[in-house]
Amino acid sequence: MHENIFKGLPSASEVELFEDIFRNENLCIERIASYGKASPEGFWYNQPEDEWVMLLCGEAELQYKHQPSVNLKAGDYVFIPANQEHRVSYVSKEPNCIWLAIHIKNKKK
């Protein structure tokens, strides 16, 4: 299979778009297009799986509930451990933020 991460994205959207690229029982790889949409005020992601995320285009700020915020530019990536409360407090509109996110389920021991 051969695809391009930027193919098929609309030029604008009223909502953030999430698209699975690959998924199985332990792993999900998704493309996210933010279109200027940051996390709602007061909302915190708290996911049961680890997440590795790379910003492919644009600029963003990732805010952690109990740690300093991280400013991201194209090419930057972060690892977010399971249950680390976080939110996206800023995303650029021009250029649009495009993300590659990999969610990894933790195997029970």
What pLDDT digit, counting tens, does each position of 65-105 carry? 999 999 999 999 999 999 999 999 999 999 999 999 999 99
Q: How many CA atoms lie within 13 A of 21 on its CB side?
A: 17
61 backbone φψ class: left, alpha, beta (φ>0; ψ -120 to 50): beta
25: exposed, middle or buried (C-beta count within 10 Å: 0-12, 13-18, 19+)?
A: exposed
pTM of the model: 0.90
Is a pLDDT exceeding 90 seen at residue 46? Answer: yes
What dotted CATH number matches 17-104? 2.60.120.10
* Confidence at residue 108, expressed as pLDDT on a 0 to 100 scale: 63
Closest CA to 79 of 35, 108, 47, 34: 47
pLDDT of res. 1: 77
Domain limits of the chain?
Answer: 17-104
